[in-house]
Chains A and B, each alone.
Chain A
Amino acid sequence: MEWVQQLVNGISLGSIYALIALGYTMVYGIIKLINFAHGEIFMIGAFVGFYAISGWGLGFFPALLLAMTVCALFGVIIERVAYRRLRNATRIAALITAIGISLLIQYVVIYFRGAQPEAYPNVLSNRSFDFFGAQISSQSLMILCTSIALMILLQFIVHKTKIGKAMRAVSHDMDAARLMGINVNTTISATFAIGSALAGAAGVFFGVYYTKIEPLMGVIPGLKAFVAAVLGGIGIIPGAMVGGLLLGVVETVVSALGYSLWRDAAAFIILILILLFKPSGIFGKNAREKV
């Protein structure tokens, strides 16, 4: 029964990775950029949530919404200021800029508030309850349910709304999308907004789950979410979800087997294996040339 418990823990950790991975994959899908500043947006989300809860006394859901909104704006601004002018530059130039932005955000945050960690307030009641003999924490369950709701909402936006269809069109063929009358800049901004909002939500969940946040907290989860996105197939939205969940479960299983020191290594071993044996990821097809 301990296994059920570990599985639930793994899935809720995985859903946090999945939320971050979605932003990576959406941005990559539309402008072919690995946005390495994405982990920092996640960190900003965690801090906005922290200040909203402990400073202003907001509840979990208002704080979550606030963090998502701030992160959405933040993502749009980063794209507007840093990436838009590099759209026709080489991909390596944009990638280096992304790493630069990532460092900039980390150290601006440290400059203003210091590097000391912060203890996340207890905003969700954490009761354990018995589920067929397994102890499941209500916190894990809450995080899992909210993440799933956000992912369903995302699927709805991408497949059923006009902006979602525009996003898919731009990611497939930017010029053809222009010919349909789609404003490519607005569509890319919307993609950054949505991806960043999800990272902001992940930041709040992470804070609630691990109770400790600090300005460099975005680095490792950011990299792991990147692994998750590659695992599922970068640029493919369901791939990011599955990749994130899978990675969370693998990490928890590795810990549960008594190799908790190897937990972080597991993610990167997966990355190496994926790149060696199936670089296009679980859901990726081998790129076909258009005829």
Chain B
Amino acid sequence: MALLEIKNLHAEIDGKKILNGLDLTIERGKVHAIMGPNGSGKSTLAYVLAGKPDYTVTEGEILFDGESILDLAPDERAAKGMFLAFQYPLEIPGVATMNFLRTALNSQRKKRGEGELSTPEFLKRVRETAAKLNINPDMLKRAVNVGFSGGEKKRNEVLQMALLEPRIAVLDETDSGLDIDALKIVADGVNRLRSPDRGFVVITHYQRLLDYIVPDVVHVLSKGRIVKTGGKELAHELEANGYAEFQAEAAE
């Protein structure tokens, strides 16, 4: 059974149709890149997978381990192992990063029937994970993402991902707003998390990110549907020729 199966997915926001019969299957241990022009529905797909309430699924299915997750709230999806790394991670003034991380981790563990981590266990785990990702512990003393640079925010997303150990990670334009050094650090963090049980959906507009997170499969999204699927060479093709061909195809 595939890790994630998206079948004929239609979704809209404020009455505007964005996804129009999207089909996509994500396999365990594989990195799937989703590329597409602006407005093709990349971020909508990410939000719909995570369960953002602004979006309405009007048709189709999302099966995680063969079970539909459409009726699950975002926190229930997270506890099942869904993780969305945000394109623009939000700042949460007044909520301490450590408190946020502990609440998130223990909420998930509780929902899965695992025991909550004690404070020392939790602290040890955060320290180790932060060290692996070259994250300055001072960053963890601040409120969530408050005063963080773009690169720090993305690194904090990767830290959360590493700590929460999801089974499927959706990275929404993780490369946006990053310089090359920050991009390498983030990609390195993602690569460390690659494992035979974990699937990745890497959403990006540019091929550049895929030099650092090398995908197994590349899909082209246009007008809310997957219009082409290929190997990693497809990304280079897109970089050279642009998306014009697919936009015309999808319009027919």
A binds B: no
Chain B contacts to A: CB under 8 angstroms: none
Chain A contacts to B: CB under 8 angstroms: none
